[in-house]
Amino acid sequence: MSQPVQPPVPPGGTAPVEADLLIVGAGPTGLYAAYYAGFRGLKVAVLDSLPEIGGQISAMYPEKMIYDVAGFPAVKGQDLVDALGEQAAQFDPLYLLGHRAERLDHGDDAVTVTCDTGLTVRTKVVLISGGIGTFSPRPLPAADVFTGEGIRYFVPKLAELEGLDVLIVGGGDSAFDWAMSLEPLAKSVTLVHRRDKFRAHEHSVRKVMESSVEVITSAEVAALHGNGRVESADIVAKLDGAARTIPAQAVVAALGFVADLGPMSTWGLEQRKRHILVDSTMRTNLPRVFAAGDIADYDGKVKLIATGFGEAATAVNNAMTVIDPSAKVFPGHSSDSG
């Protein structure tokens, strides 16, 4: 169930939409917020520039295993998205997919969001849950010279690399996650990092070090070779310049992403390092605008999917008092509602 149960409003649709809560971003945090807002009886619309729900997970790593979501010892990314979509579906949120939020206009008792497609949404509260906002991968320098195929910045389908010699470049969580996921499928996996220390979680590093993955540190990919498609790569040590050539029919450049808020950066939101600052209720500095998930920032923030779930519930419950001043912030426990 990679698509929501309810058909989305197609791009280009210009009929105005009315909602109690507009969620900008259909990733895990946004989907959980859609469920929770429905649980609180709100009319919900979910807006995303991508053509399907799931955000970065569905776009970049639907088959990768996620290990730090409460209640799941391990869960495939797309399976988590599907479960979140099913959870939200019981309250029939309206999905506005393929629309990018461009402009925010404040009224006396509502705000209006205008999209690049001309669609307008009039809503009592906006909750921004757009992950890292608009993102583009950091380039691999060696890929600028090599014009062939076989270079990728994420792996939506692991099976595409089955039986290949795979070179992964990077030292963060994504690089080590790909290494762990591909190690049982690929002919060989080599991970190259330009430093001798890693940004990845210690548990992931330990698992890769104990596997058949070859890890090369303090080295860089100097060149890629191949006739139309990558076939090998030159790896050069930074300390002494020693070089070696390894087979590689696929190169995964897991070097991170450059993110920005896109058009939302013109809305007047208070920011810190391309993230939206919020208080303990997940309110931004703008009236009727909240934020949750990776895009939200505050002192002590820990960027985890699990954190986003809690922030979504906090944002929705506090938004209730804006939508309905007579409402209580805490609705009671779901187990008491039947």
Q: Residues marked as binding for FAD? A: 29, 48, 56, 61, 101, 135, 294, 335
From 242, 244, 239, select the one nearest 214 (Cα to Cα): 244
HEC states along the chain?
Answer: CCCCCCCCCCCCCCCCEEEEEEEECCCHHHHHHHHHHHHCCCCEEEEECCCCCCHHHHHHCCCCEECCCCCCCCEEHHHHHHHHHHHHHCCCCEEEECCCEEEEEECCCCEEEEECCCCEEEEEEEEECCCCCEEEECCCHHHHHCCCECEECCCCCHHHHCCCEEEEECCCHHHHHHHHHHCCCCCEEEEECCCCCCCCCHHHHHHHHCCCCEEECCEEEEEEECCCECCEEEEEECCCCCEEEEECCEEEECCCEEEECHHHHHCCCCEECCEEECCCCCECCCCCEEECCCCEECCCCCCCHHHHHHHHHHHHHHHHHHHCCCCCCCCCCHHHCC
Q: Which residue has the tokens 């900008």?
A: 24
Structure tokens at 294: 């990776």
Which residue type sits at 338? Answer: G
Nearest 10 degrees: CA dihedral of 149, 155, 159, 163? 50
Which residues make up each annotated binding site? Answer: 29, 48, 56, 61, 101, 135, 294, 335
